[in-house]
Amino acid sequence: MSGRCETFDHTADVGLSAHADSPEELLEVLAECMCDQVCPRKNVAPDSEREISVEAPDFEALTVDFLDAVLGAIQIDRFAVASVKVTGVTQTSASAELLGTDLDPRRHEILTEIKAVTYHELEALERGGQWTARVILDL
Amino acid sequence: MADRFEGKIEQVDANRWRIPKGSQPGMRVDGLIFSSAELIGDVISGGGPKQVANVAALPGIVGASMAMPDIHWGYGFPIGGVAATDVDDGGVVSPGGVGYDINCGVRMMRSNLDAGDVRPHISKLTEHLFADIPAGVGVSGPFTFSSKEMRKILARGVEHLISCGLADASDAEATESSGCLEGADADAVSPQAQKRGADQCGTLGAGNHFVEIQYVDEVYDARAAAAMGMKLGQVTVMIHSGSRGLGHQVCGDYLKSLRSAPGKYGIELPDRQLVCAPVKSSEGQQYLAAMRAAANFAWCNRQLLAVQVRKSMSQFFGARDTDARIAQVYDVAHNIAKIETHTVTGRRRRLCVHRKGATRAFGPGHRELPACLRPLGQPVLIPGDMGTASYVLLGTQTAMDRTFGSACHGAGRVMSRKQAIRHAQGRRIDVELARAGITARARGRTGLAEEQPDAYKDIDAVVECVCSAGLASKVLRLIPMGVIKG
């Protein structure tokens, strides 16, 4: 995978900045980087699988909704995520398989709680064959 | 980084700064920031003024798009933002004007103990509370509610806890809106949101939330202090928390479901995070019903935290042959939207008042205040950071006239969380606080660093500005002795 995602500083919160060769890879690196902020993936065994799918009016909103669905798996369904595999993506829909295991506070370190994936200064687009995104997470 | 405002900001007087209508396209009213000359530098660099100007574009906004001196950058609205829209003249409600932590707020309780009784035990007492109060990320509480009970909490708030024996009438009377907003609808709260909050009612959470043991360090208004049952040296407990994951999910759900509303109602917005719908529309009514339910959940959360604090302190002091009695002084919301009637340009109007990081500050005589406090005005509880003072203020008629009965909510951040962590490198914040006589315990690895006093504005300067502007008057100053955080 050539895509990469890093965090950046933002007033009171944290941002994700990602680059990738495809929209699939873009959503994967964003989602995995976000998971690492909440519950580092290195400690999570890929024991079971979850599927998510989202639809939105445009690719930026789709990016928010996709990350929100991954976040829901962790924070609502208590599913610790080891990896994210996007199985299909268009400008307005995305589906993915999440590999991971039931979240166990004794085995999995929970670093922070993310209140929400926000629309502030949101950017998710293709430019010259490269897919880039900037997303701010409300902590 | 936060947007820097390039438009015009002009000083009105010692405590007010105006962003004239027209400084930015789409503004329907002026922006008005309450700030002193001392604070305005941080205000401008903090990105808030641009957001004050953005909020001025909301349909139906009346008066001005306002911000308190603790203003700093937020999502959509700035933190510290106050905006009122005319319900009967196309006014809108915006989830961004309430924020993700719906009814984040502050509860203050008084004890029968003096600082001298508590100081020798503060380290052990803080440990005891830290063991008893569920705090931190992913931590559930001792209270579990069936889905039927959860629906009652959402619909009836503290009133439901009274029927369960987990609150009494005096708790409700000393809570803004008696701990229950009319018009809440559990059906407007998604199953995901209810699930997210299912085991979180009665938990502190993380971030800037806390339980603090404090003492009264200064009394500015003896009559008001006496009416609140307070005196110099008295030990108090302050709880700062909100609607936990349930509220976050409600806000996120409605930011999503309202996406198409601006197009449907012909509303142009400068920021997607300001998505909104007319208050009278089905979309607006649906959001308000869900927001009210989340607000009721938050009041129950603080009530159940109070129940646990009372029990924990009673056990701690009981083992030392001391009878610790803890009674509620007041509880305020500082992230909320409410339908209120105010006089605007001589006419009584029904307004949707958004207070995001702002506290209701109703003046004397308001019928919504409890009888014992009505002649004085509403207590306005201002939590400081864990190393400095907190304040109890009273709302004023000036606040009713100028800010729809609103004042500030805290100190306001000046450092991002990461900046604060970098600033704390090589330092032991807990040791520094201990040197100042404050015992602090946090569950997370970076909690104390993120919330260190240097990360916030000077609370004394913020309160001074609010009081100089006439929006509130000082009653008490409180100094922390023991702090627990998530």
Facing A9 at nearest CB: one of B207, B260, B416 = B416
Q: Give the pLDDT of residue B207.
A: 83
Contact B74, B54 (CB under 8 A): no
Spatial separation of the C-alpha atoms in residues A136 and B423, rounded to whole Å: 22
Contact B215, B235 (CB under 8 A): yes
List the single best residue of A115, A123, A136, A138 to mutate versus B (max B Cβ within 10 A).
Answer: A115
Per-residue pLDDT of chain A (139 residues; tens, 9 = 90+): 678 999 998 776 889 999 999 999 999 999 999 999 999 999 899 999 999 999 999 999 999 999 999 999 999 999 999 999 999 999 999 999 999 999 998 899 888 889 999 998 899 999 999 999 999 999 8
Q: Give the pLDDT of residue B1.
A: 45
Contact B409, B382 (CB under 8 A): yes
Contact B438, B386 (CB under 8 A): yes
Say whether residue A2 is in contact with chain B using an 8 A CB cutoff: no
Find all residues with CB under 8 Å of B292, minimum gap 6, and list them: B181, B182, B183, B184, B185
Residues 58-97 of A with CB under 8 A from B: 61, 65, 68, 72, 75-76
Chain B: closest CA distance from residue A93 (Å): 15
Residues 92-121 of A with CB under 8 A from B: 103, 105, 110-113, 115-120
List the single best residue of B1, B70, B77 to mutate versus A (max A Cβ within 10 A).
Answer: B1
CA proximity to B323, closest of B109, B111, B110: B111
Could you tell me how far CA B379 lies from the centroid of its own chain? 13
The pLDDT tens digits for A1-33 are 678 999 998 776 889 999 999 999 999 999 999
Q: Give the pLDDT of residue A113.
A: 87
| pTM as predicted | 0.95
**Known catalytic residue at B409:** yes
Name beta bridge partners: B333.
B105
Helix (H, G, I), strand (E, B) or coil at B147: helix
Facing B138 at nearest CB: one of A13, A110, A139 = A110
Spatial separation of the C-alpha atoms in residues B93 and B113, rounded to whole Å: 44
Q: Which is it for the CA torsion B190, B194, B195, B196, positive or negative?
A: positive
Say whether residue B206 is in contact with chain A using an 8 A CB cutoff: yes
With b for 16 or more beta-carbon neighbours within 10 A and e for fewer, the B188-205 pattern comes to bbbebbbbbbbbbbbbbb
Q: Which is it for the CA torsion B430, B129, B443, B209, positive or negative?
A: negative
* Phi (first) and psi of residue B409, to 5 degrees: -130, -10
- Residue ranges of domains in chain B, CATH in brackets: 10-485 (3.90.1860.10)
Contact B131, B95 (CB under 8 A): no
Range list of H helices, B11-118 = 37-45, 48-55, 115-118
Q: Give the pLDDT of residue B441.
A: 92
* Long-range contact pairs involving A69-72 (C-beta distance under 8 Å, separation at least 24): A70/A31, A70/A34, A70/A35, A70/A96, A70/A98, A71/A34, A71/A38, A71/A114, A71/A117, A72/B192
Set of chain A residues whose Cβ sits within 8 Å of the Cβ of B207: 113, 139
Q: Give the pLDDT of residue B2.
A: 52
Find all residues with CB under 8 Å of A33, minimum gap 6, and list them: A5, A6, A7, A16, A18
Local mean pLDDT, 10-residue blocks, chain B (486 residues):
76 97 96 96 89 98 97 93 98 97 98 96 97 90 92 98 96 97 98 93 92 98 96 98 96 95 96 96 98 98 98 95 94 98 95 98 96 95 90 98 97 78 83 90 79 84 97 98 93
CB–CB of B75 and A120 under 8 A? yes
- Residue ranges of domains in chain A, CATH in brackets: 4-138 (3.55.10.10)
CB atoms within 10 A of CB B331: 28
Find all residues with CB under 8 Å of A40, minimum gap 6, and list them: A109, A111
